[in-house]
Amino acid sequence: MDELRPKLFDVLKDLKGPQLLKDAISGVIVAIIALPLSIALAIASGVGPEQGLYTAIIAGFFIAVFGGSRVQIGGPTAAFVVIIYGIVTRFGTDGLIVATIMAGIMLVIMGICRFGSLIKYIPYTITTGFTCGIAVTLFTGQLKDFLGLRLESVPSEFLPKVAAYIKNIGTVNITSLLIGLLAIVIMLVWPKITDKIPGSLIAIIVTTVIVAVFKLDIKYGVNTIGLVYGELDHSFPLPKLPTVTFDMVRDLMSPALTIAILAGIESLLSAVVADGMIGDRHKSNAELIGQGLGNIFSGLFGGIPATGAIARTAANVRNGGRTPIAGIVHCITLSIILVLMMPLASMIPLTTLAAVLLIVAANMADWSSFFHLIKTAPKSDIVVLVLTFLLTVLFDLVVAIEYGVVLAAILFMKRMSDTSDVKSWRYIEEPEVTEGEAEKLMSIPKAIRVYEISGPLFFAAADRLLAINSKRYTKVIVIRMRSVPAIDVSAMRKLRELVESARKDKITIVFSHVNEQPMEAFKKDGFIEFAGEDNFRKNIVEALEYAETLI
């Protein structure tokens, strides 16, 4: 159970005053960083600005308290924008709440079932492909507000969206564009001055003041949060559950699973990065449970999907955070900002928030890795990479992950089957074997045929057993299995058929050096009794000596 116990419980007994102060200061700084991002990501996802803060507060709290990392900061991230926007477009906010809660339940089950280590089986090509795809989709989705385009509605699909932009390019608001460009310049230049205060916050303050002082929203039509979304709710949210139907749950099962997988991947990746920064080791299964609880309660309080945010977690570490107390203080600080300062957020220009997300999109995509894989990876990996990328951009993340994982699994099975091989020993006086092996001193009678199997024997490689055949003078077939690490039921059935066929021809099959997993599978299947217990030998020497007694 220690693996499921939250990290907070491990560190409380050793928490001292100086570290508590550092955690508190770091929590406040991270909250300032999270404020503009939470609002911007919520708007980009097609929900209200407040819901971004609800997510950072509620989900962030549960992730800090029940998670498996000392320094993880939870909240909304750019990776979810595409899938959230699609859910809201199709099912509305009620559908999003249900999908978020379902994803949370899935994550808790994954943690309880010890699935933390299984996340690593999502191939690097898939994570790189959909990350770059998300970046492209996120970038394109911000162009309307960044350019100030006058569009009644923006299509959710990539190609229609680009077509709508091109069609309405003549409606660009030059003032909005200039404000957005100023925000980008500030965010690029500010880190060279100091990294204590995020450039995104400075960009928002400067551009908001300019728009408010010169009344650019009234004179030149620069859209602000207040103009588009009206008065913002600054009260703390209360839990509520929308009406749930079986059809809704069924339709949302696939998007919810995608959210759960994405949250698991990103949170554990963030935890691994944090481990390297602080010299600690996170608890992956406890982290999944914390992420799950965070998403369940985020949905109940009207928030959106959340996960561990790598950038905010890294900022927490750089500012002295070393325990979950920093994540808790981050949530408390955002709660105070929500209640006391949320009305001021209505003055923020949408073009500035779009500029913030353009920078986020540019930073989240690892294009160097993408093109390096294109140049150096095997063709099968390139196919998975490009397919995942294109499906993410042209369709959605759900389709991309489903097809990407299935294709990667098929290609993996193909590779594994290619590594499996069945070879017959040649009949010469001195068999060609590795120097030092005992069998090099033995000559094999023609009545004995020896086959060596290499690689895992599973359904995709089972047909290779057909290479084992007999000549008219064969009396015994020795099958050497020292290089077979695993076997499945499909290959076992082929072996049964092989033994049955050999018996009809009055040939005995002897098995040499069966490894632990295949031997355990043989016992459970009853194959040892079927093939004859005496026909299983520890090594090739014993097997050949036994075979000679049979002839």
**Sheet bearing 448-454, strands edge to edge:** 421-424, 448-454, 476-483, 508-512, 536-537
Band (pLDDT 50/70/90 cuts) for residue 430 is: very low
How confident is the model over 263-281, as a mean pLDDT? 88
Question: Dihedral sign, CA of 268, 273, 275, 278?
Answer: negative
Whether the per-residue pLDDT at 433 is higher than 70: the answer is no
Band (pLDDT 50/70/90 cuts) for residue 443 is: low
Q: What is the pLDDT of residue 426?
A: 53
Q: What is the pLDDT of residue 295?
A: 97
Contact 548, 448 (CB under 8 A): yes
Instruction: Report the candidate in 68, 481, 135 with the shortest Cα–Cα distance to residue 289.
Output: 68
Q: Give the pTM.
A: 0.77
Higher-scoring residue by pLDDT: 262, 61: 61
Whether the per-residue pLDDT at 419 is higher than 90: the answer is no
Band (pLDDT 50/70/90 cuts) for residue 442 is: low
Among 177-191, 279-293, 382-396, 470-484, name the one with the lowest average pLDDT. Answer: 470-484
Task: Output the 3-class SS for 17-41.
Answer: HHHHHHHHHHHHHHHHHHHHHHHHH
How confident is the model over 396-400, as a mean pLDDT? 78
| Domains of the chain by residue range | 2-365, 421-550
What is 421-550's CATH superfamily? STAS domain (3.30.750.24)
* H helix or E strand, kind and range, residue 127: helix 124-141
Higher-scoring residue by pLDDT: 229, 294: 294
Band (pLDDT 50/70/90 cuts) for residue 437 is: very low
